[in-house]
Structure 1
Amino acid sequence: MVDRFLGWRCISCLGRMDTRAVTDILRDWFVDYGVPQFIRSNGGPQFRSEFQDFCRDMHITHQLSSAYHPASNDHAEFAVKSMKMLLQKPKNNWRYFRQSLPKWRNVPRIDGLSPAQWLFGRRLRTPQIPSHPASYNRVSNGDYLAALLKRDGIEGKSQDSFNARSSVLTPLSPNTDVLVQDPHSKKWNQSATIIRFRENGQSYIISMKSQTTIRNRRQIRPYRDSLSNFSDHNRPLTPNVSDGLDSNDHPEQQEREIVPVSLRRGAPSRPKTVRFNYPH
């Protein structure tokens, strides 16, 4: 578990990966740090109906990230990645990992303060590393304010940079038929229907294959628009009523010349066999 504001990581070694094991360790963490207002997960097997009941009893709002879109929960994804890297350094030794974790919690973030300073107001004492006593002084209110302003400035520049190189996607209304991108093949070969959009406006709840799931706006596109944006190797050669096209709308286009598909890459040629004659 990672706190989004503090950057504080809570790590525990679990003997099994079911909902009961997850909720038991969460209860222990809540005793030490308090009950959070929101919990965001990827909706895996451990975070479903039984976990929903647990959050309801604890008065926690459980938020789900979009399926097959790690960027929607990138804070947790980066936290898991960093902790795995730290665990691999002492050759997957849990004891050495526990000794290295306080040192990692003293590392400053982009705002200049470490997770330990945000949580406790000072650095954690690590006997293995000699430090001056002044390094454990409490953080002043002025330092907190400067760190917040620095963090807001960096996040603002990052957001502006992202908006400059990204395009605004058209919002989709409920009951719209859409195509969904396959997460493995990256092809737009799955159909679905929009149920409603989520509060963040970046993801939608859709009905696909008689199931309800969450998809990011990048992973869905309107059915008609998707046909015009297909590449040549995905575009149908003749109109098809099942694809949402009506030939009666444009009678002059009922008889059209079929254009052969153009290949983006040349056909692979058979490698030539080269023989060398060496003198005997």
Structure 2
Amino acid sequence: MSADIASYIKKCPACQVHQRDNNKIELGATQIPNYPFEITAADLFYFNGEDYIVLTDSYSGYIKFQILSEATAENVIQFLKSVFSSNGIPRILETDNGPQFSCQDFKTFSTDWKFKHQTSSPYHPRGNGLAERAVQTAKNILKKCMYDNTDHHMGLLNFMNLPRGKLGSPAKRLYGRDIRSPLPTVISSLVPKTKTADIPQLLKEERQKQANYANKGSKADKELNQGQKIVTRINKKKEWKPAVIINKVHQRSYIISDEEGKLFRRSSCNIKPTEAEIRNPPTNIADFQTPESSFQLSPPRNAKSTPHPSTTNSQPKPSDPDLQNPASTRLQSSSAYTTRYGRTVKPPQRLTYSH
């Protein structure tokens, strides 16, 4: 009897649309860096009326943040270039899908400077956890310095010398030594030491402890298959919408198609398998095997990205390693269309997808 009820609920469209949130799932395994500035993360944040950008290094815990005169792609790129020129180009840069990071100018920057740009799923800040933690640290430094009326640069310098158990301070992991500050210090701590072979193992142990704590009460994430019927939250509304899995981007991140033929990128945290009928399922899943970078919308006004001439008539490139633009895009023409509820939708011109 109970099994029959559970099976009925899984096939009931109303039950699938109005249901509870997903259970908390276990943290995914993170890659442990082997050297400084191998894996980095960046994010923008807002504090006290100003826009900031922050960059952090996974290996050392190094962070650097700076006020932006304007939150544009050009200013973001210039900041990253200044950090990379003094610390080296990372192998991987993790960000969210903000317009400054998803525009054509940033894609050109990552190609020219030869680093892999890896983005998290929309509506899933935990997917960019390294950068989110750096934002929290930066805001704490700014708040304390504002309270004491002191220079936040001095606060950042003291943070770099702050030891973290066996791992040591961010400065020691990055430079092999402490960096001089107004605080009293012994000369020997300023002399570089090159013993760093045990840092990756210490990082692995520390992050495993963090994962064990965070995973209390969590469930293991289940793999989703191509063509599988699901319900998902397309936006921040409570209702779950029917969709189909198109393909997997990377760990726990999927491209999905809703009943109207729109493509979205979502984390498995915002996806639930279902047995309810999909009204207009895609007829040929293979038609959707295209990289996300091929679905370009007009850049938002604060991204100020320069259109790249080669993207106007270019065909999707299956070799692209990652999907860079998470925005939803209509597969058909972006002219007026009627939803399954009978409402006529006329997309504004600024969201029109041009071939």
TM-score normalized with structure 1 length? 0.71
- Does 2:160 align with 1:105? yes
* Aligned match of 1:70: 125
Deviates more, 1:160-169 or 1:64-73: 160-169
- Does 2:242 align with 1:191? yes
* Aligned match of 1:83: 138
**Hey, what's the Cα distance between the residues in 2 that align with 1:241 and 1:15?**
47
Contact kept, 8 Å, 2:233 with 2:239, in 1: the verdict is yes
CA RMSD of aligned residues (A): 2.8
Which has the larger Rg?
Answer: 1
Contact kept, 8 Å, 2:94 with 2:117, in 1: the verdict is yes
From the superposition, tell whether residues 57 and 243 of structure 1 become closer, same or farther in structure 2 (CA, over 3 Å). Answer: closer
Query: Any stretches of 5+ residues in structure 1 without a counterpart?
Result: 228-239, 245-280
* Aligned match of 2:264: 213
* Higher RCO (CA-CA < 8 Å; seq separation 6+): 2
Contact kept, 8 Å, 1:66 with 1:203, in 2: the verdict is yes
* Aligned match of 2:217: 165
Query: Any stretches of 5+ residues in structure 2 without a counterpart?
Result: 1-54, 282-355
SS in 1 for 2:174: helix
- The residue type equivalent to 1:103 in the other structure is N
> Which of the pair is proportionally richer in helix?
1
- Does 2:173 align with 1:121? no
Shift of 1:47: 0.9
Shift of 1:37: 1.6
**1:40-59 deviations in Å (ceiling 9; x for gaps):** 11110111132112212222
From the superposition, tell whether residues 76 and 223 of structure 1 become closer, same or farther in structure 2 (CA, over 3 Å). Answer: same
**Hey, what's the Cα distance between the residues in 2 that align with 1:94 and 1:19?**
31
From the superposition, tell whether residues 212 and 55 of structure 1 become closer, same or farther in structure 2 (CA, over 3 Å). Answer: farther
SS in 1 for 2:256: strand
SS in 2 for 1:75: helix
Contact kept, 8 Å, 2:227 with 2:244, in 1: the verdict is yes
> Which of the pair is proportionally richer in strand?
2
- The residue type equivalent to 1:21 in the other structure is N
* Aligned match of 1:21: 75
From the superposition, tell whether residues 135 and 35 of structure 1 become closer, same or farther in structure 2 (CA, over 3 Å). Answer: closer
* Aligned match of 1:251: none
TM-score normalized with structure 2 length? 0.57
**Hey, what's the Cα distance between the residues in 2 that align with 1:32 and 1:94?**
29
Deviates more, 1:11-20 or 1:168-177: 168-177
* Aligned match of 2:86: 32
